[in-house]
């Protein structure tokens, strides 16, 4: 991708001073914060998904991207969550069920406390934290597709659908809360216990809605990559990693195939 092509995309989607570019720079601050915590606590992570794709193809954000993605091995994610829950920060918070009782996902989301975003969805309107986001996906080497499908079925019908239908106040006590507790505290630990380690592959941990898998040799040992003029952690073989996710990741999609989360951004603390 030439510098001129990159400049044209920036001018079209995220020019300097635009709401999206301001939100992206705030997410960059969030990634710097997470990177610092992980280094100080010896926690492994790597940039993932569109964030890694942006680093490889654009040396920073994909011009139209409105969130960030990172991965952590499951045990590292548990340590990161424990750290964030015990260390309050004025700028960023880890959104999980423990920090936000209305958040019903098995992965964490870093939220900025100075911004508010909206996409018109029922769950986001009910969240305690609604800032710009970074998804943190726990990664595991214990995964069975049949067991994963069972979990997806229960999550969809007893957690996700009731929330998106906007009946959280009526179903919170009787369906959603006990279902989430049973799935995360009983079913997922049981499924992990009976699933053997995969010596060659990694995938999203039980409870996520994606059954993607990567070769361990493409992830470890972790490397580094430039992103927005800074250096962050990435998979050992980012090309192979991205080909598994996107196929030919080097090609910029046509305008009619570009999709975002359709977030709108609002600064609620103008001191930043």
Domain membership of residue 195 (yes or no) is: no
Place of tokens 């993607």: 212
Domain membership of residue 191 (yes or no) is: no
Q: Residues of the chain with pLDDT > 70: what percent?
A: 93
Mean pLDDT of 189-213: 93
Q: Is 29 exposed, middle or buried (0-12, 13-18, 19+ CB in 10 A)?
A: middle
Residue 28's pLDDT band, with cuts at 50, 70 and 90, is very high
Domain membership of residue 202 (yes or no) is: no
User: Which phi and psi (to 5°) does residue 202 adopt?
Assistant: -125, 155
CB 118 within 8 A of CB 102: no
Q: What pTM was estimated for this model as a whole? A: 0.92
Domain membership of residue 180 (yes or no) is: no
List, for residues 238-255, the tens digit of each pLDDT value: 999 999 999 999 999 888
Domain membership of residue 146 (yes or no) is: no
Structure token digits, residue 163: 């929330």
We report the CATH number of the domain holding residue 20 as 3.30.460
Look at strands 68-73 and 133-140 and give their pairing: parallel
Give how many domains the chain has, as a whole number. Answer: 1
Instruction: Measure the CA–CA gap between 235 and 150, rounded to whole angstroms.
Output: 30
Domain membership of residue 253 (yes or no) is: yes
Domain membership of residue 74 (yes or no) is: yes
List, for residues 47-80, the tens digit of each pLDDT value: 999 999 999 999 999 999 999 999 999 999 999 9
Q: Which residues, other chains included, contact 34 with Cβ-Cβ below 8 Å and sequence gap of 6+?
A: 45, 70, 110, 134, 136
Question: C-alpha distances in angstroms, 93 versus 30, 96, 165, 187?
Answer: 10, 9, 27, 28
* Residue 47: strand pairing partners: 70
Q: Could you list the residue range(s) of the whole structural domain that residue 93 is in?
A: 3-141+215-262
Mean pLDDT across the chain, nearest whole number?
91
Q: For residue 257, give the DSSP letter.
A: G
Out of 42-46, 129-133, 179-183, the most confident range is 42-46
CB 135 within 8 A of CB 68: yes
Domain membership of residue 76 (yes or no) is: yes
């Amino acid at each position: 991708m030439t510098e001129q092509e990159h400049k044209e995309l920036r001018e079209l989607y995220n020019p300097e001073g635009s709401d999206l570019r301001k939100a992206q720079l705030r997410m960059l601050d969030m990634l710097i914060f997470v990177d610092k915590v992980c280094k100080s606590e010896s926690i492994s992570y790597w940039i993932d998904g569109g964030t890694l794709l942006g680093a490889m193809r654009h040396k920073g954000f994909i011009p139209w991207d409105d969130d960030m993605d990172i991965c952590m091995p499951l045990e590292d994610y548990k340590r990161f969550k424990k750290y964030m829950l015990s260390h309050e920060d004025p700028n960023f918070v880890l959104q999980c069920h423990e920090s936000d009782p209305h958040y019903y996902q098995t992965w964490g989301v870093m939220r900025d406390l100075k911004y508010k975003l909206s996409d018109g969805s029922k769950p986001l309107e009910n969240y305690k934290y609604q800032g710009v986001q970074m998804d943190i996906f726990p990664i595991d080497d214990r995964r069975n597709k049949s067991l994963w499908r069972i979990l997806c079925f229960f999550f969809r019908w007893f957690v996700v659908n009731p929330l998106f239908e906007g009946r959280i106040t009526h179903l919170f006590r009787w369906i959603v809360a006990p279902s989430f507790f049973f799935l995360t505290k009983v079913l997922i630990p049981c499924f992990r216990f009976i699933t053997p380690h995969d010596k060659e592959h990694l995938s999203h941990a039980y409870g996520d809605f994606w059954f993607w898998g990567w070769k361990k040799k493409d992830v470890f040992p972790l490397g580094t990559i430039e992103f927005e003029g800074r250096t962050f952690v990435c998979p050992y073989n980012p090309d192979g990693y991205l080909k598994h996710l996107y196929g030919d990741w080097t090609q910029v999609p046509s305008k009619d195939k570009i999709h975002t989360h359709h977030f709108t951004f609002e600064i609620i603390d103008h001191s930043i």
